[in-house]
Chains A and B, each alone.
Chain A
């Protein structure tokens, strides 16, 4: 049995529907929001009509206490997306097997419908830098990233989604475009694409590219989830706009426009509204998620499920 067959099989558990828990094999093609500790009680008390919640895996790598207590209860009612920020898939060093084991344990415990990570690095040696750092798009990086994703999918026994990065710098060493790099990673590893439309807009603006052209070069058929977030504005040394992927404000109208064009092509796709700083009330986040749902509804059928086997 090939790895891909194994992954396909593991994604269609026979246990579907068993037990009280929502055993979603795919995220619903609806909008979701990031689950914030300050909203735990509100979510449980009001049970908002929302497609799914997403959490950062590393925040739940703690022994016990309120985080696990609340996530366990919320998971009983909602599909979950597990989003890693610390695996350092783009790192020059080997993957941290202990970290992979912690991810596997979280996946066993919470049965998320989706696991995603970034095309970036965040650790060097034994230092964790707590940022998503850029990689050159060259052969050596391609081979390393693919080997790391192969290992992740083998260890976690599931297909992962890889998120396109928000970057502020480019490398002289790059020999291919970001889109070509991502296309090749998806082709070689069979992983899916987490299309962060804000990242696409931020990176294209920061590197003087056309975002629609960039999106057109991506293998959109492999999109398993979309992320939307807000950015902050800065300028570079020459006064050119430099957008910062800050997750601290509402989604920009330019990003909503790009999102609508992606949905027009793909139909409804599980879409996460990300907010990590200056987190507003749950109602405000839900209203933003509602706007994404409106865009998906306007595009209407045919509905797509959240897992894509495309990319090849």
Chain B
């Protein structure tokens, strides 16, 4: 029970996140000055440090809209969605969805998907380590042509694949000095496969259907079902080229055949 007139942490925390709230009671300064000016240091520390955390993750999103716009938008997000974890590396999981609903960002319709790609990069960077499947296992798994479709693949924990109505990969790459931003048509649909190979996070432009294939594998689909999901997404899906691409980047960590029941 907090006595009246003293500042409990609930009131203090609420005042930090809401600049319209008055300074909580019970706070004082040695010289009798208005404590609101001193509370402002904490208010600024909290909001600015969390905006900084978002700016670290969403670097390209910030470049697309400019620092002033980004920080103003991030401040609204931070006040509504303070971190629920003490580990800040993954702060901003809901930021792409927030951007989609944030009216002033409407003129940049691809901003949310670029933010999704940047979240995937951070996830890949910190994801668990795992060794690629041994080539001997691959050889054995693919040798039994009859049962290839039953294979269950596991992707490296760093792998994320997603499609966008916008040219997310080209937009992102143009901000890494790859390609000319002026020449990117943002309205061209692209899909990305994001993963970590060794210590490096890679953003791969997904060949047709490959992102859908990876997503299906991630949901636990067997190879045949994942391939048909990919074919449904694109007639041009090429299973062997996609597998080769994934293997080349160490993105497949296991291949297993389910035990077939004798009947």
A interface residue numbers (CB < 8 A to B): 58-59, 61-69, 86, 88, 91-92, 96, 99, 121-131, 133, 136, 168-173, 206-209, 234, 236-238, 240, 242, 244
Across the interface, A131 reaches (CB within 8 A) one of B46, B124, B129, namely: B46
Across the interface, A171 reaches (CB within 8 A) one of B26, B34, B49, namely: B26
Q: Which residues of B contact A234 (CB under 8 A)?
A: 41
**B53 touching A130 by the CB < 8 A rule?**
yes
Q: Which residues of A contact B82 (CB under 8 A)?
A: 127-129
**A172 touching B83 by the CB < 8 A rule?**
no
Give the complex CA separation of A131 and B17 in angstroms: 12
Across the interface, B6 reaches (CB within 8 A) one of A67, A173, A209, A240, namely: A173
Apart from A62-B89, A240-B31, what 11 extra A-B contacts exist at CB < 8 Å?
A58-B86, A64-B126, A64-B128, A122-B86, A126-B84, A131-B42, A168-B39, A171-B7, A236-B31, A236-B33, A236-B38
The 8 closest A-B pairs by CB, nearest first: A86-B86, A238-B33, A62-B126, A64-B129, A63-B128, A237-B37, A124-B13, A237-B34
Chain B contacts with A in 4-36, Cβ cutoff 8 A: 5-10, 12-13, 16-17, 26-36
Q: How far is the CB of B154 from chain A (nearest CB, A)?
A: 15
**B85 touching A128 by the CB < 8 A rule?**
yes
> If A67-B126, A168-B42 touch, does A136 touch B6 (CB 8 Å cutoff)?
yes
**14 A-B pairs (CB sep. < 8 Å):** A63-B128, A64-B157, A65-B124, A65-B196, A66-B199, A92-B10, A129-B82, A131-B49, A170-B27, A170-B28, A171-B26, A172-B6, A236-B37, A238-B32
Q: How far is the CB of A230 from chain B (nearest CB, A)?
A: 15
Name the residue on A nearest B158 (C-beta): A65
Name the residue on A nearest B36 (C-beta): A237
Q: Which residues of A contact B115 (CB under 8 A)?
A: none
Name the residue on B nearest A276 (C-beta): B49
> If A126-B84, A130-B83, A171-B26 touch, does A63 touch B126 (CB 8 Å cutoff)?
yes
B95 within 8 A of A: no
Give the complex CA separation of A169 and B39 in angstroms: 7
B interface residue numbers (CB < 8 A to A): 3, 5-10, 12-13, 16-17, 26-39, 41-42, 45-46, 49-50, 53, 82-89, 124-130, 157-158, 196, 199
**B50 touching A130 by the CB < 8 A rule?**
yes
Give the complex CA separation of A237 and B23 in angstroms: 13
Across the interface, A65 reaches (CB within 8 A) one of B28, B35, B125, namely: B125
Q: Which residues of A contact B37 (CB under 8 A)?
A: 236-237, 242
**A172 touching B31 by the CB < 8 A rule?**
no
> If A65-B127, A172-B6, A240-B31 touch, does A130 touch B41 (CB 8 Å cutoff)?
no
Q: Which residues of A contact B126 (CB under 8 A)?
A: 62-65, 67
Give the complex CA separation of A64 and B128 in angstroms: 4
Q: How far is the CB of B196 from chain A (nearest CB, A)?
A: 6
Q: Which residues of B contact A171 (CB under 8 A)?
A: 6-7, 26-28
Name the residue on B nearest A91 (C-beta): B9
Name the residue on A nearest B85 (C-beta): A128
> If A65-B196, A129-B13 touch, does A172 touch B5 (CB 8 Å cutoff)?
yes
**A58 touching B87 by the CB < 8 A rule?**
yes
Q: Which residues of A contact B39 (CB under 8 A)?
A: 168-169
Name the residue on A nearest B29 (C-beta): A236
Q: Which residues of B contact A63 (CB under 8 A)?
A: 126-129, 157
**B27 touching A169 by the CB < 8 A rule?**
yes
Q: How far is the CB of A295 from chain B (nearest CB, A)?
A: 30
Q: How far is the CB of A133 from chain B (nearest CB, A)?
A: 6
Give the complex CA separation of A234 and B31 in angstroms: 15
Across the interface, B9 reaches (CB within 8 A) one of A59, A124, A170, namely: A124
Across the interface, B88 reaches (CB within 8 A) one of A64, A88, A127, A130, namely: A130
Q: How far is the CB of B124 from chain A (nearest CB, A)?
A: 8
Q: Which residues of B contact A209 (CB under 8 A)?
A: 30
Name the residue on B nearest A126 (C-beta): B84
Q: Which residues of A contact B50 (CB under 8 A)?
A: 130
**A172 touching B26 by the CB < 8 A rule?**
yes
Q: Which residues of A contact B29 (CB under 8 A)?
A: 169-170, 207, 236-238
Across the interface, B41 reaches (CB within 8 A) one of A64, A86, A96, A242, namely: A242
Give the complex CA separation of A96 and B84 in angstroms: 12
Give the complex CA separation of A99 and B84 in angstroms: 13
Q: How far is the CB of A139 from chain B (nearest CB, A)?
A: 13
Q: Which residues of B contact A208 (CB under 8 A)?
A: 30-31
Give the complex CA separation of A122 and B88 in angstroms: 13
Name the residue on B nearest A124 (C-beta): B13
**B128 touching A127 by the CB < 8 A rule?**
no
**A59 touching B6 by the CB < 8 A rule?**
no
Give the complex CA separation of A124 and B46 in angstroms: 13
Q: Which residues of A contact B124 (CB under 8 A)?
A: 65
**B30 touching A170 by the CB < 8 A rule?**
yes
